Amino acid sequence: MAKIKCTNCGCTELKEVFIYDIVSASECSSPRDPVNNYACMKCGHVETYLCELDPVAREKREAAEKGRERVLSETLKQAEDCIAEFKKLSEIILDENSTQRQAREARVELNKVQDRFKREYYKIRETDSKTASKLHREMEEARNNYVGNQQRDRNRYN
């Protein structure tokens, strides 16, 4: 918690309070600067900050921003993992040394991984469309590679 200090007694224990003005109808139409108020728990003095200068509110804003960044980087990691897993699974499917059962299981996982990727991709696209399209390209490439190799395999056996 950011430190705010009572300018009257120096106490640092302040609590956010909401002060409602009793205003006439004409005054209602003139908007006031948005402020936050903190009352000193010791002497009752009220400290007022303009919202954008309020140290407590600023810290909350920054924490929320950091939280969003963390979520985004976690989502990004998930999406990248999906692409890596897709590549790994398609290799298993295409590997002639894989048993039919292994290939079948890998195919099921391959579908799941694509669904998972789609979910992460949509989340990323909301906040970072550039990164999202880069991931989308990577996934497309992996998919085309897989489909192309599958085609080659089929031609080889026919």
Which residues of this chain interact with Zn ion, rule CB under 5 A?
A: 6, 8-9, 11, 40, 42-43, 45
Minimum Å gap between C-beta 59 and Zn ion is 21
Find the angle CA(136)-CA(128)-CA(85) to the nearest 5 degrees. Answer: 35
Residue 40 or 142: the one with the smaller Cβ distance to Zn ion is 40
Minimum Å gap between C-beta 21 and Zn ion is 22
Minimum Å gap between C-beta 49 and Zn ion is 15
* Closest alpha carbon to 79 in 11, 125, 26: 125
Residue 42 or 116: the one with the smaller Cβ distance to Zn ion is 42
Distant-in-sequence, close-in-space partners of 14: CB < 8 Å, separation ≥ 6? 4, 5, 6, 38, 39, 40, 41, 47
Residue 8 or 133: the one with the smaller Cβ distance to Zn ion is 8
